[in-house]
């Protein structure tokens, strides 16, 4: 019996269960499956409901109880407790009667934060004498239950903040509310979390147990829900977390004063999932899980499945519910029917925090979208937007895999950015990091007291290069966490592709390890068979579930079959970054022109393996940081030579087989190397030399997007033919790109790139067909001096065999420049390009 003090005048004030008067009232839509809906009240002892009633919320879901807790003695049919002694007018209270022996252990476990099945003890339970209600309200002065029929039941204090009472003669469970008085003199009306059935059904728990729940985010994490009942609708949030080794789990948050014992969760059978629905908690509330681990230590952990977070450096999870209405139906319909692998793909890589500092997702939805649209890129690729605690990691050390970083706004704000990009005709690719995660104590590391998400053996579970943990790819629930995460971004945020980071570190067990620091696989080899299985499952599942998307591997070795279908033993990626081409081509332009003849093979070698995979040609963030210098500053020579070489190099990239990717800033020849702590040097666009590079990239994309010869057969040898691959003395490369198997009538572009400091005034170029050919690009015309360009000049192909072609044309190729030609239907203009330009200059 609780201490009885003189009664105070009561004030009635509706309150949620957590005494949080400011909880957001926004709620989620009611969950539909019949095995998930928690029914409220109205169940008689003779009824046989399809789902557990509130009174029997844990029936069939009891798990094992931690040793020594006494909770195993608790049953739904616990006998009635002795009646409390009558209230005395004397303000000095009598001591409460001790709890019945069969309850004392469970109550002590509850108060100590060790109870695994709080719903067996708390809530409403039918027993021989009627309906027993038991609630946990530490610090309360009095507790009264009001039932749906208006009856009120005064509870007595049993022990350790547990209050109980029996409604005699009641043979069914009911909807009810709890009225609690504290020292504030106000009677708070609350709902009881422990009268609700589990929000996860049997099928969900089965799929989680087998690691096959492809929509894991819909059942784990925090979800705002609303349920109807005899006493009105109930709004709150269900919490569910996978922690199979935990001895007890509690929800803590701003709605309960971060109290570590107030809201214990129940363990659902053998699934390893802990669950609790808390009425009154809504969108915007912050929370974590207080986990008593297998080592008996208690840790506060962010929700691995949280869909929103606090702004770093704060580490709390945030309850959220999307209210976004998409406007990209036309884009999504095209995505379902198009094949991105055989279409144009020109990617602009962006680090959101340093593109323009201070911009939110919604700011970027205006300025970034307009900028990329003007430049003509087909896609943007964002460095990881998943939540991460350390900004200088660029997002590659993820702690919130299901939450867009709160640095730039809400999840719906990020949806708005994706939506606006789609409306502008621009696809969105996200960098995704399933290889490793940071060791932050509040995140995934030792989540339930021992290695859970990470491999337990440091020879497989630690990443020496980055000081992070490696996922346990062999644990099915961990694999499920990652596969579902990939699907989550593609489906929930309409993302069009995922670029998987650090694939090589996943494939090899000895990656960055010395002899004796790694464990071989079951066959004695160095291949990580579990990681291979994860990548194959991720690719096969995403391509099946979300037609029209693309997955891209950042894989730096010669692992075979990266882009081969999983049915053929490949990893199943759609595209692979061509790291070899990137390294070789950057080495080439880093040579002085006079020495490039000795490194000619650096640009020809890539065509020896160009069709072994489906490639992306990446000039990424990794190449313009950490002392490597900007793309412009990698090039030797005078400033004029640097700019000219960069223009020629960009034209070369856009015509090489494969999709192309360019990191932000390189499109206007950023002088300084990239730094994540400051924005790009936008003032450079006020200088003609840099603005003309910007114009060139815009023109490259315009021609590229409208000419299938530059992308339709990227992964087929039929799409490329050398004209002259052996002019090392002249530092020139010439070749043809084809857009159809029929080379006589399909799209074709002839390309010449001159990386020497000398002009080739009358260079004869072989072409495959007669007729008129037009110069569609001349990079020499994009300098800061307004040099006359040969663009749009048309020449007649002569029946003069050259470069193993039956016809040829003559062109002038300026120093450090590139010229593109394509057949046209316009009237012929007699003479070579050189003659036309000379005549034009004489007329001027």
* Mode of pairing for the β-strands spanning 575-577 and 615-619: parallel
Residue 50 CA to residue 59 CA, distance in Å, equals 12
**3 state DSSP class of 456:** coil
29 is catalytic: no
Q: Which residue has the tokens 């096959």?
A: 212
Give the pair of three-digit tokens for residue 665.
């800033």
Give yes or no for a contact between 620 and 661, defined as CB atoms under 8 angstroms apart. Answer: yes
In the three-class reduction of DSSP (H, G, I as helix; E, B as strand; rest coil), residue 316 is classed as coil
Q: Is the peptide bond before 313 cis (omega within 30 degrees of 0)?
A: yes
| Cβ–Cβ under 8 Å, residues 239 and 222 | yes
CA atoms within 13 A on the CB side of 521: 15
CA-to-CA distance for 551 and 482, rounded, in angstroms? 14
Helix (H) or strand (E) holding 298: strand 298-301
Q: Among all chains, which residue has been given the structure tokens 């590229």?
A: 704
Residue 795 backbone phi and psi in degrees, to 5: -125, 160
Task: Kindly state the tokens that stand for 481.
Answer: 């966490």
Q: Based on C-alpha coordinates, what's the Rg of the chain? A: 34
Is 501 considered catalytic here?
Answer: yes
Annotate 218-278 with DSSP letters as a single string.
GTSEEEEEEE--TT--EEEEEEEEE-TT-SEEEEEETTTTT-SSSSBPEE-TTS-EEEEEE
Contact 450, 467 (CB under 8 A): no
Are the beta carbons of 161 and 99 closer than 8 angstroms?
A: no
**Secondary structure of residue 729 in the 3-state scheme:** coil
**Helix ranges, 256-350 (H):** 329-337
**CB-based contact 102:149 (threshold 8 Å):** no
Q: How far apart are CA 427 and CA 431, in angstroms?
A: 14
List the Cα angle 343/345/346 in 5-degree steps. 155
556 vs 541: CA distance, rounded Å: 24
In our burial notation (b when 16+ CB lie closer than 10 A, e otherwise), range 385-401 reads: bbbbbeeebbbbbbbbb
* Interatomic CA distance for residues 456 and 31, integer angstroms: 37
Q: What's the rounded Cα separation, in Å, for the pair 558 and 503?
A: 12
Nearest alpha-carbon partner for 614 in 678, 690, 670, 551? 551
Residue 785 phi/psi, 5-degree rounding, is -100, 0
* Chain-centroid distance, C-alpha 130: 51
The secondary structure of 423-452 as a DSSP string is HTT-EEEEEE--SEE---TTTTTTTTSS-S
List the catalytic residue out of 17, 349, 381, 501.
Answer: 501
What is the chain's length? 844
Q: What is the DSSP letter of 454?
A: B
DSSP per-residue string spanning 62-122: -----TTS-GGG--TTPPPPPPPPPPPSSSSPPPPPPPPHHHHHHHHHHHTT--S-HHHHS
The catalytically annotated residue of 108, 554, 613, 714 is: 554
Q: From the CB of residue 832, how many other CB atoms can be counted at a distance below 10 Å?
A: 20
Helix axes 202-210, 476-492, angle to 10 degrees: 110
834 contact partners, CB below 8 Å, separation of at least 6: 761, 762, 810, 811, 812
Q: Is 627 helix (H, G, I), strand (E, B) or coil?
A: coil
Residues noted as catalytic: 501, 554
């Amino acid at each position: 019996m609780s201490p009885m003090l003189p009664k105070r005048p009561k004030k009635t004030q509706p309150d949620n269960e957590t005494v949080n008067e400011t909880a957001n009232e926004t709620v989620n839509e009611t969950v539909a499956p019949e095995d998930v809906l928690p029914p409220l009240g109205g169940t008689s002892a003779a009824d046989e409901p399809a789902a557990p009633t509130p009174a029997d919320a844990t029936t069939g879901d009891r798990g094992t109880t931690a040793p020594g807790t006494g909770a195993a003695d608790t049953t739904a049919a616990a006998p009635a407790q002795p009646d409390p002694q009558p209230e005395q007018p004397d303000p000095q209270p009598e001591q409460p009667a001790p709890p019945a022996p069969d309850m004392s252990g469970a109550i002590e476990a509850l108060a100590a934060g060790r109870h695994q099945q709080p719903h067996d003890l708390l809530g409403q339970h039918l027993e021989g004498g009627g309906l027993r209600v038991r609630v946990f309200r530490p610090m309360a002065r009095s507790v009264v239950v009001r039932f749906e029929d208006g009856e009120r039941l005064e509870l007595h204090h049993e022990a350790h903040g547990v209050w109980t009472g029996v409604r005699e003669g009641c043979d069914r469970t009911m909807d009810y509310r709890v009225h609690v008085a504290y020292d504030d003199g106000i009677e708070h009306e609350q709902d009881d979390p422990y009268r609700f059935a589990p929000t996860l059904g049997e099928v969900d728990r089965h799929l989680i147990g087998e690691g096959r729940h492809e929509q894991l985010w819909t059942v784990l994490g925090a979800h705002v829900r609303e349920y109807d009942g005899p006493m009105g609708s109930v709004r709150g949030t269900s919490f569910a977390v996978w922690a199979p080794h935990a001895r007890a789990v509690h929800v803590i948050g701003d709605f309960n004063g971060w109290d570590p014992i107030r809201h214990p969760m129940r363990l659902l059978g053998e699934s390893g999932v802990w669950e609790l629905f808390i009425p009154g908690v809504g969108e915007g509330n912050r929370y974590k899980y207080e986990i008593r681990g297998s080592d008996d230590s208690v840790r506060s952990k962010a929700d691995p499945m949280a869909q929103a977070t606090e702004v770093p450096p704060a580490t709390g999870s945030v309850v959220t519910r999307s209210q976004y209405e998409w406007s990209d139906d036309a884009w999504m319909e095209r995505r379902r029917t198009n094949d991105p692998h055989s279409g144009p793909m020109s990617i602009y890589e962006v680090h959101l925090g340093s593109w323009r500092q201070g911009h939110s997702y919604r700011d970027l939805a205006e300025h970034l979208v307009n900028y990329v649209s003007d430049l003509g890129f087909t896609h943007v690729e964002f460095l990881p937007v998943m939540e991460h605690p350390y900004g200088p990691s660029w997002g590659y050390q993820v702690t919130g895999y299901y939450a867009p970083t709160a640095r730039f706004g809400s999840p719906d704000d990020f949806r708005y950015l994706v939506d606006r990009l789609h409306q502008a005709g621009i696809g969105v690719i996200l960098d995704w990091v399933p290889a490793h995660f940071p060791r932050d104590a509040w995140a995934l590391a030792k989540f339930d007291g021992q290695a859970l998400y990470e491999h337990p053996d440091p020879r497989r579970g630690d990443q020496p290069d980055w000081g992070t943990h490696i996922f346990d790819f062999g644990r099915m629930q961990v694999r499920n966490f990652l596969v579902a995460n990939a699907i989550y971004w593609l489906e929930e945020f309409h993302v069009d592709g995922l670029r998987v980071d650090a694939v090589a570190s996943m494939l090899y067990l000895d990656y960055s390890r010395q002899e004796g620091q790694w464990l071989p696989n079951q066959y004695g080899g160095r291949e990580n068979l579990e990681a291979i299985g994860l990548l194959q499952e991720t690719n096969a599942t995403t391509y099946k579930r979300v037609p029209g998307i693309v997955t891209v591997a950042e894989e730096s070795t010669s692992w075979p079959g990266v882009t081969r279908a999983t049915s053929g033993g490949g990893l199943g990626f759609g595209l692979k970054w061509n790291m070899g081409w990137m390294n070789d081509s950057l080495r080439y332009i880093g040579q002085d022109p006079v020495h490039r003849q000795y490194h000619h093979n650096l640009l020809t070698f890539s065509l020896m393996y160009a069709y072994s995979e489906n490639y992306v040609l990446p000039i990424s963030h990794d190449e313009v940081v950490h002392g490597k210098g900007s793309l412009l500053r990698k090039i030797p020579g005078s400033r004029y030579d640097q700019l000219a070489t960069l223009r020629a190099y960009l034209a070369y990239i856009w015509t090489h087989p494969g999709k192309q990717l360019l990191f932000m800033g390189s499109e206007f020849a950023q002088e300084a190397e990239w730094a994540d702590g400051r924005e790009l040097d936008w003032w450079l666009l006020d200088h003609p030399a840099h603005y003309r590079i910007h114009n060139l990239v815009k023109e490259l994309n315009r021609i590229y997007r409208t000419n299938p010869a530059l992308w339709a057969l990227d992964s087929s040898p039929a799409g490329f033919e050398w004209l002259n691959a052996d002019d090392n003395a002249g530092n020139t490369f010439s070749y043809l790109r084809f857009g159809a198997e029929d080379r006589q009538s399909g799209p074709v572009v002839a390309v010449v790139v001159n990386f020497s400091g000398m002009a080739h005034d009358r260079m004869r170029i072989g072409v495959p067909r007669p007729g008129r050919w037009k110069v569609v690009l001349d990079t020499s015309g994009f300098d800061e001096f307004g040099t006359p360009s040969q663009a749009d000049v048309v020449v007649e192909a002569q029946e003069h065999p050259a470069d193993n072609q039956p016809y040829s044309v003559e062109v002038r190729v300026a120093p450090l420049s590139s010229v593109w030609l394509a057949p046209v239907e316009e009237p012929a203009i007699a003479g070579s390009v050189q003659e036309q330009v000379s005549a034009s200059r004489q007329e001027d």
